[in-house]
Amino acid sequence: MHCTKKITEDLTWVGANDRRLAMFEGVYSVPYGVSYNSYLLTDDKTVLFDTVDKAVQERFFENLTQALGNRTLDYLIVQHMEPDHSAAVQELATRYPKMQIVCNEKTRTMLNQFFNFDADSRVMLVKEGDTLNTGKHTLNFIMAPMVHWPEVMLTYDSTDKILFSADAFGSFGALNGALFADEVDFAKDYMDEARRYYTNIVGKYGTQVQTLLKKASGIEIEMLCPLHGFVWRRNIQDFVAKYALWSSYTPEEHGVMIAYASIYGNTENAAEILACQLRDKGIKTVMFDVSVTPASEIIAAAFRWSHLVFASATYNAGIFVTMESLISDLVAHNIQNRTVALIENGSWAPMSGGLMRGKFEKCKDINILENTLRIKSSMKAEQLADISAMADAVAATLPSTQANNAGPSGVPDEQQIDLNTMTKLSYGLFVLTAREGDKDNGCIIDTVIQVGDSPVRITAGVRKINLTNDMIHRTGEFNLSILTEGAPFRVFEHFGLQSGKNLDKFADAGYENRAANGIRYLPEHTNGVISAKVIHSFDCGSHTLFVADVVQACSISEERSVTYRYYSEHIKPQPTVTKDSKPGFMCRICGYIHESDTLPADIICPLCNHGAADFVAI
Q: How many CB atoms lie within 10 A of CB 110?
A: 19
State how far the Cα of 45 lies from the Cα of 73, in Å rounded to an integer.
8
Beta bridge partners of 611: 604
| Phi, psi at 472, each rounded to 5° | -70, -40
Alpha helices in 450-547 (DSSP H): 467-475, 489-496
Q: Are 180 and 280 in contact (CB under 8 A)?
A: no
pLDDT value at position 417?
A: 53
Say if residue 9 is exposed, middle or buried (CB neighbours under 10 Å; 0-12, 13-18, 19+): exposed
Task: Let me know: does 614 contact 446? Beta carbons within 8 Å.
Answer: no
What tens digit of pLDDT does each residue of 85-104 get?
999 999 999 999 999 999 99
Beta bridge partners of 514: 520
Q: Which residues, at least 6 apart from 132, have a Cβ–Cβ distance to it below 8 Å? A: 47, 75, 102, 124, 126, 138, 139, 141
Cα-Cα-Cα-Cα torsion 398, 577, 591, 220, nearest 10 degrees, comes to -140
pLDDT at residue 409 in the model = 46
What pLDDT score was predicted for residue 420? 59
CA 506 from chain centre, in angstroms, equals: 31
DSSP letters of 244-282? Answer: HHHHTT--SEEEEEEEEE-SSSHHHHHHHHHHHHHHHTT
Long-range contacts, 63-69 (Cβ 8 Å, 24+): 63/2, 63/3, 63/4, 63/14, 63/15, 63/16, 63/38, 64/14, 64/38, 64/40, 65/2, 66/2, 66/4, 67/2, 67/4, 67/12, 67/14, 67/40, 67/42, 68/40, 68/42
pLDDT for position 587: 80
| Other Cβ atoms within 10 Å of 33 Cβ, number | 16
* 3-class DSSP assignment, residue 240: helix
Which tens digits make up the pLDDT trace of 348-367?
A: 989 999 999 999 999 999 99
- Residue 612 is predicted with a pLDDT of 82
> What is the per-residue pLDDT for 410?
47
In a 13 Å sphere around the CA of 446, the CA atoms on its Cβ side amount to 16
State pLDDT tens for residues 501-541. Answer: 989 999 988 899 999 999 999 999 998 999 999 999 999 99
Nearest to 406 by CA among 398, 418, 395: 418
**Residue 261 burial class via C-beta count within 10 angstroms: exposed 0-12, middle 13-18, buried 19 and up:** buried
- Cα distances (angstroms) measured from residue 168 to each of 107, 165, 188, 197, 482: 17, 5, 20, 10, 34
- Which DSSP letter does residue 569 get? I
Per-residue model confidence as pLDDT tens digits over 310-345 = 999 999 999 999 999 999 999 999 999 999 999 999
- Ramachandran angles phi, psi of 210, nearest 5°: -60, -40
pTM: 0.81
Task: State the pLDDT at residue 424.
Answer: 60
Residues in the chain: 618
Question: What pLDDT score was predicted for residue 406?
Answer: 40
Contact 266, 378 (CB under 8 A): yes
Helix (H) / strand (E) containing 68: helix 57-68
Which residues does the chain have with pLDDT short of 70?
400-426, 575-581
Predicted confidence at residue 402, as pLDDT, reads 36
Run of H or E including 313 = strand 305-315
What DSSP line would sit under 15-65, residue for residue? -EEESS-SEETTTEE-TT-EEE--EEEESSSEEEE----GGGHHHHHHHHH
Distance of CA 12 to the CA centre of its chain: 23
Tell me how far the alpha carbon of residue 184 is from its chain's centroid: 15
Helix (H, G, I), strand (E, B) or coil at 83: helix
Instruction: Kindly give the interhelix angle for 236-247 and 206-216, rounded to the nearest 10 degrees.
Output: 150
pLDDT of the residue at 311: 97
Give the model's pLDDT for residue 601: 85
